Structure 1
Amino acid sequence: MRWQNIYVSGTGAWLPPAVSARSAVDSGEYDPEQFEADGLLSVRVAPDDVAPPEMAVEAATTALKRSGASPEDVALLVHSYIYFQGIDGWPAASYVANHAVGPRVTALELKQECNAGLVGMELAAHRLASAEPGTSAVLTTADRFGAPLMRRWRQEQGIVYGDGAAALVLNNQGGFARLVSTATVSDNSLEAVVRGRGFEPLPNGEQQSLAERVGHYVQQHGTLREATERLIAVVGEAIDTALADAGTDRQGVAWTVIPATGRSKMEWQVQKMLGVSEERTTWEFARRAGHLGAADQFAGLNDLAETGSLRPGDKVLLVGSGSGFTCTCAVLEILAEPEWRAAGGPGAEVGP
């Protein structure tokens, strides 16, 4: 879908200190062979006393300050995540909205696995398209992954999970980047790949392992080949549609914000699925942060903005994907260099 008068006016991230991948190998948490194959340098690990909604408030506060929007301008806050938010059966989005924006803004939670950030942006754009000029929407996503239920270094082959939060502010009047197009494509039959053995009547407190769930699928079907081919088709259709609607192609894209994986998966994604050079992706950021759940795209864009990598006229492709399987892609056109470039970002390295 092609958009008119939808802009990105601010970005923000909260990222805790980095823990080196080498130290995880030395402690036995990270498989040495996988370490060599992935090429990851570090992942972000949050202290025990910080919950994801608190991280999201920090990221949203930064993004709002940078956007120039006032709380009264914000009509919607969408908070997404893929894991525990600190309290079961509790509206995390309301906490984030109350502490980052105010008590009266509409607050929604979105669960769409690692694609939730970008699909939330697409949904918020629909809301802003019919709103009064000057209206904003805040998008946040935050997660932390820790023992004993999550083994961040061994949870999924080729992916190491990092902690952190990111936020993005959309506005329907102006910003440093224009949202040109979005496309979402799904194949819901692929949910079986990560379903595992099946349903449980209640949470059983068992340690989660996506690798084991995928292994169960392979046992039942004999191979991942067909599922992989269908996944590639979904991602390719979303990319091609978003680029076509934006009137450009892969060669016309200055930067591609990619899901954060190890090199064992990243090279396949970049070369086979995207057809872009590694140097024009957010791989260097990703290999130092780890997979931040649904925050990879907003955090990657924020890093490009903070490091002064964006130039007016640049086209930026954001690629999201979530097990299930759904892929959302977005194309941005940079209108101006963000004023906060090279600032490092308040709250970027320390906790709330």
Structure 2
Amino acid sequence: MRFDGLYLAGLGSWLPPATTTAEAVRSGQCSAETARKSEMESVLVAPEGIAPPEMAARAARVALERSGVARGDIAVLLHATLFHQGYDLWSPAAYVQRAAVGGTCPAIEVRQVSNGGMAALDLAASYLLADPARQAALITAADRFDGPDFDRWHSDPGTAYADGGTAMVLSSVGGFARLRSLAVVGGPELEGMHRAGAAFGEVEMSTRQLVDLDAHKRSYVAEAGMSQTLAAILDGQREALKRALSDAELELSDVDRLVLPHFGRRRLVSNYLRHMDVPLERTTWDFDSKIGHLGAGDHIVSLEHLVRTGGLRPGQTCLLMGVGAGFSWSSAVIELIEKPEWAD
């Protein structure tokens, strides 16, 4: 969808200290083989006692302050999540609202896994356009990948999972960057890839086992076939990219920078760069490889990094590309209008 009159007014993040991959290998947390596959330099690991909604609230306060948007002008809060937020049968979005915004606007959790931040941006844009009186939306994303049922290094080999919170303020009034286009495409025929080999039922619900996404994928591909699976994944990705670029009236070669999911290098090259014919240098890999996969928050933090460090200059465009289990794919084109005051 093409957008006219929607802007990024603020970006923010709360990021914990990093644990280097070398440290993780020495301590036995990460195998040497896994480290070689991902080529990640480090991964962010939150200290004990800080839950994802609090990370999101801290990031939200930064984004709101940078945006200059009054808290009373936030028309909706969308909190994107992938993993456990701290409690069952509880609303983490409401916590973020109480801790960072206040007011009576709707606070909604978006469960679109790794594509959650992009899905939240799509929903926020539509929400603002539906009523001219709505001036701004707050998008947050936060996760913490630890506990007995998730191994940040091995539960999804090739991707190292990181802790942290990110936030974005989308405005219909003004901002430092313009949202030119956004497309989200679904492919539900692939939803079994992240559950194959495991049954629904009370036992699965009551007995939390270590997440092993690689085992699910192998089980799914054994039944569906590798070529058919890869073709479906590429078709969805290409369709989202085609729509976003067409609506922004750009070719891929026109885009100055790309923000991709924080996958390991091998997965990043095979899933994106090789068939798109894009060099690694046009992405934010140097930054991403020190962060790890933040779940739904990769795109916000990498865009914040580009803006803050001057990696994206006024007049330049940035393509955000996302993917989430289910499957869903997304692409968005952002144009930087001016350098914000909080940039270096």
Deviates more, 1:169-178 or 1:223-232: 223-232
User: Partner of 1:327 in structure 2?
Assistant: 329
Aligned equivalents of 1:145 and 1:126: distance in 2? 31
CA contact (8 A) 2:38 2:160 kept: no
Aligned equivalents of 2:340 and 2:282: distance in 1? 19
Aligned equivalents of 2:214 and 2:115: distance in 1? 19
User: Partner of 2:313 in structure 1?
Assistant: 311
The code of the aligned residue for 1:234 comes to: G
Local SS of the residue matching 1:63: helix
User: Partner of 2:261 in structure 1?
Assistant: 259
User: Partner of 2:169 in structure 1?
Assistant: 169
CA contact (8 A) 1:93 1:108 kept: yes
User: Is it true that 1:338 corresponds to 2:337 in the alignment?
Assistant: no
Per the TM alignment, residue 134 of structure 1 is displaced from its structure 2 partner at its CA by: 6.9
What is the number of equivalent residue pairs in this alignment? 341
Deviations 1:210-255, CA, capped at 9 Å, x for gaps: 112112223434x433111110110011011100110001111111
User: Partner of 1:199 in structure 2?
Assistant: 200
CA contact (8 A) 1:232 1:273 kept: no
Q: Which segments of 5 or more consecutive residues in structure 1 lack a partner in the other structure? A: 343-352
User: Partner of 1:101 in structure 2?
Assistant: 101
Deviations 1:148-188, CA, capped at 9 Å, x for gaps: 11000001121010001111100001101111011111110
Aligned equivalents of 1:273 and 1:134: distance in 2? 40
Per the TM alignment, residue 25 of structure 1 is displaced from its structure 2 partner at its CA by: 1.3
Superposed structure 1 runs of 4+ greater than 4 Å apart? none
User: Partner of 1:210 in structure 2?
Assistant: 213
User: Partner of 1:300 in structure 2?
Assistant: 302
The code of the aligned residue for 1:294 comes to: A
Aligned equivalents of 2:296 and 2:70: distance in 1? 26
Percent of pairs with identical residues: 39
Aligned equivalents of 2:273 and 2:54: distance in 1? 37
Per the TM alignment, residue 24 of structure 1 is displaced from its structure 2 partner at its CA by: 1.2
The code of the aligned residue for 1:142 comes to: A
Local SS of the residue matching 2:290: helix
Q: How does 1:205-244 map to 2 (within 5 A)?
A: 205-221=208-224, 223-244=225-246
Per the TM alignment, residue 294 of structure 1 is displaced from its structure 2 partner at its CA by: 0.5
- Give the TM-score normalised by the residue count of structure 1: 0.94
CA contact (8 A) 1:235 1:273 kept: no
The code of the aligned residue for 1:214 comes to: K
CA contact (8 A) 1:77 1:97 kept: yes
User: Partner of 2:91 in structure 1?
Assistant: 91
User: Partner of 1:155 in structure 2?
Assistant: 155
User: Partner of 2:142 in structure 1?
Assistant: 142
CA distance change for structure 1 residues 337 and 273 in 2, over 3 Å: closer, same or farther?
farther
CA distance change for structure 1 residues 301 and 205 in 2, over 3 Å: closer, same or farther?
same
Aligned equivalents of 2:223 and 2:182: distance in 1? 35
User: Partner of 2:249 in structure 1?
Assistant: 247
CA contact (8 A) 2:72 2:103 kept: no
Aligned equivalents of 2:112 and 2:281: distance in 1? 29
CA contact (8 A) 1:139 1:167 kept: yes
